[in-house]
Amino acid sequence: MLLIHCPYCAEERPEIEFRHAGEAHIARPDAMADLSEEAFQGYFFIRDNRKGEVFERWRHIHGCGRFFNAVRNTITDKFLATYEAGKPKPDLDALKAQKGTSA
C-alpha cells in the first residue's frame, strides 16, 4: 500500500484514504463544441501512460476530500512530490536531483 502525503492535510496517510483520479494537468477546453474530433480525442482519451515519472491527480476522499496533484515514478511507485491543485508542474529534473532517483 502506498503512503501518500496530502498537501492540504500536511500528513502522510495510507492509500486507502485516497482515490486515484487520472493524469494531471489536462485542462478542459473552453469551447468544447468547436473542438475537432482529433482534439477531443486528445483531450478525452489519449493518455501519457509513461514508464517513469508521471503527473497525476489524487483525491483525499476519506480525509479533506480535496483533489491534489502528485509526481510519481511508475517503475518504483515512489512519490517525488505532491502539491496543491492549480499549482504549476514542478521542475522534474530538480525534483529528481533532490530525491536522488534515476530517470
Q: Which residues bind another protein (CB under 8 A)?
A: 1-2, 15-16, 19-20, 22, 37-38, 40-42, 44-47, 49-51, 54, 56, 72, 74-77
Looking at the DSSP assignment, which residues form a beta bridge with residue 57?
69
Q: State in angstroms the smallest separation of the CB of 42 from another protein.
A: 8
CA distance linking residue 26 with residue 22, whole number of Å: 10
Q: State in angstroms the smallest separation of the CB of 48 from another protein.
A: 8
Q: Is residue 38 helix, strand or coil?
A: helix
CA distance linking residue 22 with residue 49, whole number of Å: 10
Write down the residue that cell numbers 480535496 correspond to: 66
Q: State in angstroms the smallest separation of the CB of 4 from another protein.
A: 10
